[in-house]
Chain A
Amino acid sequence: MSDAPREDEVLVIEDLQKVFTAPDGERTAVVDVPAFSLAAGEQVAIEGASGSGKTTFLHLIAGILEPDAGRILIDGENMAALAEAGRDRLRARSIGYVFQSFHLLQGYSALENVLLGMHFGPGPDRVRARGLLEQVGLGDRLDHRPRQLSVGQQQRVAVARAVANRPRLLLADEPTGNLDPTRASEALELLRAVSAEAGSALLLVSHDRGILERFGRVESFEGLRRAGEVSA
């Protein structure tokens, strides 16, 4: 396989493997993906059962976890080959992440939560942060802390924070897992719209059929795995 990804590919994964060792010494390859790619602006959903390794897969792409083997090219830069500080830089610059539990910082206002993410990327831009929160319908909640916001509002802050640095790749891990079906649908549309407007490719993992059927391209995580049982 060529080292150089296609020009329009934001994410290219080659022979990615992550092995966990159980306390009894048994080694299991939680992630073993021979090939996967995502084009610029593309929106893809990955389905899979809870505990199948989807979150680990996203953590590997985000550089939060270090793979045992393989390559993860983000805009041509191999995340897997970088030291931790380099992965931190690449993540801040090119990746946005929406977590299932949103992971907002409790002592910070909605605006500060968005601004803080910008500090580690291109730098704080108060006007853009306000604009994003207004775009997700929270223009009148800028100074509210997460505890003063509804679950749906917290989710919208998380979306605004994730796209604040204009990431090339937006990762979403069960982003509607804590919402009721109506709000989940609204949240998904918002995520897709904001992602499209920011020009980010969206990679979303979920086990919710209602969410998955809204995507044109849906991959099964089991289908991405290398065929056969793998023991490391």
Chain B
Amino acid sequence: MSALWLIVRKSLRQHALSTAVTVASLALACGLVTAIFSIERQARGAFGGGSGAFDAVLGARGSQLQLVLNAVFHLETSPGNVSWSLYERIAADPRVAAAVPYAVGDSYRGHRIVGTAPEAFALSHGGAARFSGQGRLFDAGRREAVIGSAVARRAGLAYGSHFQPAHGVIEAGAHDHEEDFVVVGVLEPTNTPADRVIWIPIEAVFRMGGHVLRGGGEDYHADPSQPIPDEHKEVSAVLLRLKGGMMGASLFREINYQQQEATLAWPVARVMAELFDKLGWMHRVLTLVAYLVVVVATGSVTASLYNTMNERRREFAILRSLGARRGTVFAAIVCESSAIALAGGVAGLAVHGAILGAASAAVRERTGIALEVFAPHPVLFLAPAGLVALGALAGVVPALKAYRTDVATHLAPTS
């Protein structure tokens, strides 16, 4: 064991309380920095690329962002509906590889109900829906439902359960429909917003009691014994997979600027990136606060070491009398501050884990997206390494005081 390490170890033990407090403040600072960067990157990745299989969303004239948040992330309210004929036209467009209609507006215990076609699962679930245990896709002509894993967990629904949808997506004040649905499948967790959704046949949404269809421009109430004419049908959104990037550009121009009867949100990643850019100031403020905490914590290393220098002058004088050089004493203090910072950096990863754990639970609760606690990010290495460098710097001023200790003065008899 080297002399430096022996001196550092002894000092840390002798000043255990102040060391622990300093390490804790450094850990908090380090954990904040890593957590902020990690959450920002993961949120950007999850929401920016959250459309998965879809390139664009077609919906009512209005905000592209609202359209994407509602259709892809199942947040916000729907900006309105577009006619079935528009859906059919876009689905038949040679530039479109696949088109999936969504009809929204109902919920069950706070979980949104989306009416769609069974083909949606082939696109959104990587080719085929995977069920937890027994399960199958709903029959498009029956009152059947497939539910996400979070719905099953939180609403207490399981395979074979029955439920009655409520009108509206806000639980408070919603009234129940009379139609009874049976759960025919619980999807495996995907860690995406789809986990929070109840999927039913789109025809069932059209036929839900109290729903008024206005696809033809006038009110139409579905008759249980009669097929619904296509001209009355309407959808909340159409999720599109395009045949290429150029197709998207030409469709975007055509729908948004020439026809002006609907809105095409394309590409979905760009729409979400714009949202993050708008919220970029918040990330910058949080980062600034975290850096300030780092500065204050680093300052506390300097202060706590500096305050012990007077009581330790005799120790330094004894070390010098034994043959230690001034540089050895200087290095011992810098090593001590670096060791404190290293401990803070390592403990900071635990703080990072705690923050990410809590944030992940909150984000998953609200959006269905799961954040990975220790997702690879350079900051997980750079922050502790930077903290050690700052810690070494923080030790320089106290080390200089130790360096200047006059040996003869402090070796005077103490009794």
User: Which A residues form the contact surface with B (CB < 8 A)?
Assistant: 56, 59, 62, 64-65, 84-85, 88-89, 91-93, 97, 99-101, 103-108, 112, 115-117, 119-121, 124, 161, 174, 177-178
Contact = CB atoms under 8 A, between A and B. Distances in A.
30 contacts: A56-B408, A62-B321, A64-B320, A84-B326, A85-B325, A85-B326, A88-B320, A88-B323, A88-B324, A88-B325, A88-B326, A89-B325, A93-B323, A97-B321, A99-B321, A101-B414, A103-B314, A103-B318, A104-B318, A105-B319, A107-B11, A116-B6, A117-B323, A120-B319, A120-B324, A120-B328, A121-B323, A174-B413, A177-B413, A178-B415
B324 A112 contact: no
Contact of A119 (B6, B407, B413): B6
A161 B322 CA distance: 9
A127 to B, nearest CB: 15
Nearest to B328: A120
A117 B320 CA distance: 10
B10 interface: yes
What does DSSP make chain B's interface, helix, strand, loop or mixed? helix
A104 B315 CA distance: 9
Interface centre among A107, A124, A161 (most CB of B within 10 A): A107
Interface centre among A85, A120, A124 (most CB of B within 10 A): A120
B270 interface: no
Interface in B1-24: 1-3, 6-7, 10-11, 13-14
Nearest to A89: B323
A103 B6 contact: no
Given A85-B326, A116-B6, A178-B415, 16 more contacts: A62-B321, A64-B411, A65-B408, A88-B320, A91-B323, A92-B323, A92-B324, A97-B321, A100-B413, A101-B415, A103-B317, A105-B318, A112-B6, A120-B3, A120-B324, A121-B323
A64 B14 contact: no
Interface string B378-415: 00000000000000000000000000000110010111
Nearest to B314: A103
Contact of A92 (B2, B315, B322): B322
Contacts of A99: 321, 411, 413
In the A-B complex, the 5 residue pairs with the smallest Cβ-Cβ separation, listed nearest first, are A92-B323, A120-B323, A119-B3, A107-B14, A117-B322
Contacts of B414: 101
Interface centre among B319, B322, B326, B407 (most CB of A within 10 A): B322
A224 B327 CA distance: 36
A119 B319 CA distance: 10
Interface in B316-373: 317-328
A112 B9 CA distance: 12
Nearest to A62: B321
A65 B327 CA distance: 18
Interface in B287-336: 314-315, 317-328
A184 to B, nearest CB: 15
Contacts of A59: 408, 411
A70 B354 CA distance: 67
Contacts of B314: 103
A117 B408 CA distance: 18
A126 B28 CA distance: 40
A183 to B, nearest CB: 15
